[in-house]
């Protein structure tokens, strides 16, 4: 299983104090990586880090280009290389498109797509110098499909998919592998309102071939694969982990 061994690697996961980001951090740590948790709330980060042996924290706002650059450069200089980056920070806002608030649209753009550019660029500059690195962007089933009430979110996740392809196109020649994981419907804080809605859950179970919500731990295997030597010739790929929802009508 050496192909999937992450011993000696260091992974930065944005938005990792809870939900999918925290689950991925725990999974990468179990595979041997030292994980670096990121978020804006230092208290939540400390509490999360206390649950993962050897975890470090790096607090910054992923939407602040200069702040990201300073944090990443400072960490690389003081602690050491970031070998794996998981761009997970994201948000949701639900509203009919005709009534969608402009300020919420701008927040979605900054949090869901601009952050991938800011953190990806800051980390990639160091990876390029080392001729090696793994970047994994968290896309969504909405990278390929739309639902009522979340059109701007769908737009941002579509952009994440295409930015992932662009990263691979520009950076594969430097030894980087840049890919995305596109989760389906998972029981996370971001989806709490949907999980609590029995009508939506009933619809989802009928719509998804697997017949259920996903468990966040079921994303870990995909993340380990894309972080490890096993994916050395995988680049620009969007890996859907969705119980088959994008495969069927």
Active site residues: 153
Q: Quick one: three-class SS letters along the chain?
A: CHHHCCCCCEEEECCCCCHHHHHHHHHHHHCCCEEEECCCCHHHHHHHHCCCCCCEECCCCCCCHHHHHHHHHHHHHHCCCCCEEEECCCCCCCCCHHHCCHHHHHHHHHHHHHHHHHHHHHHHHHHHHHCCEEEEEECCHHHCCCCCCCHHHHHHHHHHHHHHHHHHHHHHHHCEEEEEEEECCECCHHHHHHHCCHHHHHHHHHHCCCCCCECHHHHHHHHHHHHCHHHCCCCCCEEEECCCHHHCC
**What are the structure tokens assigned to 60, written together?**
């910054």
Q: Record the tokens describing residue 222, joined without a space.
A: 């995909």
CA distance 144 to 70: 34
């Amino acid at each position: 299983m050496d192909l999937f061994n992450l011993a000696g690697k260091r992974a930065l996961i944005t938005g990792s104090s809870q939900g999918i980001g925290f689950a991925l951090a725990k999974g990468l740590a179990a595979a041997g990586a030292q994980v670096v948790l990121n978020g804006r709330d230092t208290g939540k980060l400390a509490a999360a880090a206390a649950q993962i042996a050897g975890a470090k924290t790096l607090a910054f706002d992923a939407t602040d280009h200069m702040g990201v650059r300073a944090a990443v450069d400072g960490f690389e200089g003081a602690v050491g290389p970031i070998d794996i980056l998981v761009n997970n920070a994201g948000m949701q806002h639900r509203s009919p498109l005709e009534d969608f608030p402009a300020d919420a649209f701008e927040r979605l753009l900054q949090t869901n797509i601009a952050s991938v550019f800011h953190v990806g660029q800051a980390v990639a500059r160091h990876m390029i110098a080392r001729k090696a690195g793994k970047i994994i962007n968290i896309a969504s089933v909405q990278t390929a499909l739309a639902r009522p009430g979340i059109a701007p979110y769908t737009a941002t996740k579509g952009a994440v998919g295409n930015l992932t392809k662009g990263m691979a196109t520009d950076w594969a020649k430097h030894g980087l592998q840049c890919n995305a994981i596109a989760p389906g419907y998972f029981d996370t804080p971001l989806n709490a309102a949907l999980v609590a809605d029995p009508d939506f859950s009933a619809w989802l179970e009928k719509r998804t071939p697997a017949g259920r919500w996903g468990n966040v731990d079921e994303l870990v295997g995909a993340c380990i694969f894309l972080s490890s030597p096993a994916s050395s010739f995988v680049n620009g790929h969007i890996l859907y982990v969705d119980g088959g929802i994008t495969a069927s009508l």
